[in-house]
Every structure is written in structure tokens, then in C-alpha cells.
Chain A
Amino acid sequence: MKTKFFNLFNKNAPPRTGIIRDFDKKTTGIKVTVFFVYIVCAIVVVLALFPIYWVIMAGFKDLREFMSSTLIHPYAFDFTRYTTTWNQLNIIQNYLNSFYAIIGSVVSALVFNGLLAYGLAILKPKGYKIVHNMVLVSLLIPATIALVPLFINIQRFNMGGFFTPLWLAAGANAINVVLFRQFFLSIPGSIIEAARMDGCSQLKVFSKIVMPLSKPICVVVTIFTVNGVWSDFLLPFLVLGVGQWQTVMVRLFVFSTQQTINNDDLMRAVVFSMVPPIILFFIFQKKLTENIVTSGIKG
């Protein structure tokens, strides 16, 4: 990050790689275009970051100031406003709940999606194509459409009120299955054959050969699952309700639709909900952007 940033001011820039080539004559037209490119990029940076900056600043305001001040910055940087809201909402409990939801979901996503993809990519038992096609169709139908009956089933099986349905739901993710399958297909068949010859059972091939070779895709699936579970609130809201297991986003959803909270506290709650994913992003930023570029898929 840092080195790349300084690159911006480095005289010895690397050669051009885009549509505009170093071959291009240094006409005014080209120069203007290059200038325009950087202007747009600067605007993009402001658009992407300013709202985040604003909400953090808004968190320093109290209700009266928030409702009446026409300044971006607060009158004073009173950090106790954040700590007060933090303590008052006892949001640490919601962080923990989100954490539980994430851990179970990641395990479930890796194991169940991985096993299904293993079947579809490598084992290929008779009739697997039907399942494969059904998984592909699932990609095309938004899960939201199935929300109402799913909710009813969860209530019927009396699974409401705890994380179980959320964990298991992560095991039915069509995108993950497709990702795993694509990756498994690229594993040379000879390696798997050799393991079979050595008498490895099918499951052992999965756990000892296929998964260890698939670390990159496991990382991608994990990142997507973490991000998805952290942000999700519709199914979690229907499953967890307003009970003690509320995740951060469910809490925020209840706040935002019922307004049982003052606007200034709401802005601080928004900040609390943004901080963990932003921190995680900057830690795993390289891995994430590279993996998306190489696997060419969207989160």
C-alpha cells in the first residue's frame, strides 16, 4: 500500500500497460486524456472515502449538534461520545455474536460446499449432472425469493432463536460450490489417481490431497463468507429476532427500522459496524484483490 502510494510521485514510473501506449505521440490530446484520467481517479478516491470520513466525524456530535449543525466537522472531538455509546449499547456482545455466526458459517461453507464440489468435480457419480445443473440454476434465482417459506420451515422445525440455521445456510452457497468446483477441476487427475492407488478412501483424498492443494480458493471462500455473514441481516433478523444472540447488523437493522435509538447514537453504531470489515480489508487487501483478479469473480 504505502510503497505503491509513493510510487505515484516516483519519477521512474513503470511502462504504460493500458490502451494509451508509450508509443503514442505526446500530442495535446493524449496529454489531456492522461490528465483527465488522473482527475477522474482523484474524484473516485474522494467519493469512495469521504462518506466514511463524514460518518466518523458525525459520531463526535451529540444529538442537538447532529440535528442542527451544518458543518462536516464536530465542534469538539469528544471521544467519550463513542465510548459512552459503546458501553450503553453493550455492543461488544453483538460483536461476539457476529463472531460466533462467522466461525460456524466458515466451517460450514468450507466443509459442505467443498464436499459437494468435490463430488461434482472429481467423484462424478452417476447422475451428478442433475445436481450440478440445479446448483447452477440456484445461481440465477435470488435466495431472497425463497425467504418466506424458508422462514416458515425454520419456525416449524423450531430452529429459531439460535445460530444453527445461519451456520447451515452457509453450507448451501451456489457461488462457493462453483468456485470450489472450478478450482478442483484444475487439480491434475494424476495426483488423485496416485492417491487412490495407494488405497486412500474418497474422503481421505478430499481431506489429505484436494483441500490442502486448494488453499487459495479456501481463502477466497473464507473471505467471502466472513464478509457476507458480517453484513447479512435479513435472515439473521428472522432467525435471531431481537433475542440475546442478535448480531451487529441485526441490531443495526432493528435500530434503523424502529428508531429506538437517537440519530447520533445511530451514526456511532454505523461506525462500529464498519470498523471490523475495514480493518480486515486492509489486512487482507492484497490477497483479496489478487484473488478476485485471478479467479475473476465478484463477492
Chain B
Amino acid sequence: MAKFKQHATSWFIMLPGIILFGFFLWVPLLQSVRMSFYRTRNIELVEFVGFDNFISIFNRHEFRQALVNTFSYTIWSILLGFLVPIFLALIIGETVRGKGFFRTVAYVPNVLPGLAAMILWRAFFSAESTGVINILLGHLGIGPMTFLTEANWVIPIIVLISTWRGAGATALIYMAGLAGINPELYEAATIDGAGIWKRIRYITAPAIFNLGSTLLILQIIAIFQIMYEPLVLTRGGPDNASISLMLLMWNYAFGGNMDFGRASAVAVITAVILLGFTVLYQIAQRRKVDWD
């Protein structure tokens, strides 16, 4: 009996947290699924329409484009957002003098609010002669270029800006991982005549492999959330070239048509893709994700 009472009290202690998680995450997620099967008017569910919303969005070019774009975002973010911090951590790790300074400075962009950073970079990439990058190119004698109006460039540019913001912080985590490597390993290798590349290949890379794969999956989850970046920078243009799944969801819901049913269908599809990634990741790892 006392045991039962103890369990009950424990649950009571956890209850507020559970209620909040329920209200802000779990219930809305389930509602998303439910709503994706309904036609909506304003915020009310009007009628059950089965898979109509899903069929309808798959027939819409902007959804297909957003789907393709999201994978393009993912690839670019693996190329830039994933590799740059590792490179940065290796480089800063090699400095002797000023290590703390470099580490701190590289982290600074991360404390800027993301929205402010986007507005700032919008001015940098402006195609007018007053765009900052064009000013700098002008000093090199290169005429003004267009950036955000180029369909092939917008996604790499957006990923580049995200990387600018996040790389310093992620690099810090890698540096922590690198610091855990026993220096004697390197010294032994050095004495054995292993060059720098060999040391990286056989000592450094294996040591941060697990950390890297965890960060990679987090990176992919983060890139699927990309929304305000194209919203602020390009409004998803030119010609939908930078629209992301989440931005499309936002547009359906809050962009003029209040189409919550289709917005939810987009959300559900995104969640399914992400779960797919996670499952793939776990299979690749062949063991439980080590969160603890």
C-alpha cells in the first residue's frame, strides 16, 4: 500500500510536465494526423474526406517542388552544415595560441537571433549594387551579381547562412570529443612515422564517428524544420525554388487560404519522412540511439 502511494505521488510530481508535453507536443501531433483527413473551415473540422488532402497536395506542383527542395536542403546541409563544423573543430584544435579566442569568436554568430541574422544576410546577398557582397566584388573589379534570384543558388545560400550561424556551436561539441582522445595515441603514431592524414584517418575519425553520426541525424531533423529562413530571404522563390515543406505548411495555414487540412497533411508527410530517417539511422547503427 505504501508502495502504491509512493508510485502515485511520483506520478503526481511528473504530472505537470506530462500535461505540458501533452498540450504542446503529443496531442497536437495526433491532432495533425486527424486533421489531415478532414476538410476544414476556419479552425473547425467540416467533414471527413479520407485521403483527399494527401491526394490533392501530391497533385499540387508546389508540394512536389517542396519535397524535392527539402531533399536538396538535406544534401547541401550534409555537405556544408555537417562537414564545416568538423573541419572547424580540427583546425581550431590545432591552434596553440589564441585557441580560446578562436573558439569564442566562432561561436558568436550562434547567439544572434536567427531572424536578425537572416535579415542581415538578405542585405549581403542583395543583387543591387549596394548589396554587401556586390560591394566587396566591386573592390575586386567584378561587376554586380545576382544571388537570391538564381534558382540554383538559393538553397545553397540558405544552408550557407544556417551554417554560418551554427558551425561554431557544433564545432565546440566536436572539440569536446576531440579533447577526449588520448594524446599518447597521436604521439605513438607520430613516432611510428604516420603523417597527419593518416593520424586523422586512423585515430581522429574513428574517435568522433559516433558523435558525428548522432549530430548528423540531429542536423537532418533541424534541416527539415527550415521555414523562416526562406520565408524571410526569398519567400520561397524564385518560382518556388527555395520553398520547404514546413514553409509550405505555413503558407497553407497562415499564408492566405487558412487551409489547415492540407497544412496538416504536409506536416504528417514530413513527420513520416523523418521517422523513416530515424529508422534507417537506427538500422545503420544496429543498436539503440545512445541518448543516455
Contacts and interface: CB of A to CB of B under 8 A. Distances in A.
Nearest to A185: B292
A85 interface: no
B291 A118 contact: no
Given A140-B275, A142-B221, A289-B107, A1 B101 contact: yes
Interface stretch (B48-56, B60-68, B73-81, B227-235): B227-235
A77 B234 CA distance: 31
Nearest to A169: B24
A92 interface: no
B20 A168 contact: yes
A123 B130 CA distance: 61
Given A144-B225, A145-B32, A172-B21, A37 B94 contact: yes
B91 A37 contact: yes
User: How many interface residues does chain B have, given as a range?
Assistant: 35 or more
A289 B104 contact: yes
B113 A277 contact: yes
Contact of A257 (B117, B232, B292): B232
Contact of B249 (A8, A126, A148): A148
A7 B98 contact: yes
A17 interface: yes
Given A140-B278, A146-B24, A4 B88 contact: no
A131 B231 CA distance: 35
A8 B260 contact: no
A19 B178 CA distance: 9
Given A140-B275, A148-B35, A293 B21 contact: no
Contacts of B246: 142, 144-145
A37 B9 contact: no
B1 interface: no
Contact of A274 (B23, B113, B134): B113
A249 to B, nearest CB: 6
Interface string A260-299: 0001001100100110011011000100110011101111
A18 B94 contact: yes
Contacts of A234: 227-228
B164 interface: yes
Given A44-B105, A148-B260, A177 B271 contact: no
Given A37-B91, A44-B105, A68-B130, A51 B120 contact: yes
B43 A155 contact: yes
Interface string A128-140: 1001001110111
A248 to B, nearest CB: 8
B169 interface: yes
User: How many interface residues does chain A have, given as a range?
Assistant: 35 or more
A273 B113 contact: yes
B151 interface: no
B29 interface: yes
B92 A41 contact: yes
Interface string A59-75: 00000001111111000
Contacts of B285: none
Nearest to B278: A140
A266 B119 contact: yes
Interface stretch (A187-195, A212-220, A225-233): A225-233
Contacts of A99: none
B257 interface: no
Contacts of A54: 120, 124, 132
Contacts of A55: 120, 123
Contacts of A111: 16
Interface string A110-130: 011101101110011110100
B7 A126 contact: yes
B97 A21 contact: no
Contacts of A145: 29, 32, 246, 249, 267, 270-271
29 contacts: A1-B101, A1-B104, A4-B99, A5-B98, A17-B93, A19-B196, A19-B200, A54-B132, A58-B123, A68-B130, A70-B130, A70-B138, A119-B10, A123-B10, A125-B11, A128-B14, A131-B18, A138-B21, A141-B29, A144-B249, A145-B29, A145-B271, A147-B28, A168-B23, A253-B115, A257-B232, A281-B111, A289-B104, A293-B172
Interface of B: 6-11, 13-14, 16-18, 20-21, 23-29, 31-32, 35, 43, 88, 90-121, 123-124, 128-130, 132, 134-135, 138, 164, 168-170, 172-173, 175-179, 183, 186-187, 190-191, 196, 199-200, 203-204, 211, 215, 218, 221-222, 224-225, 227-228, 231-232, 246, 249-250, 253-254, 260, 263-264, 267, 270-271, 274-275, 278, 289, 291-292
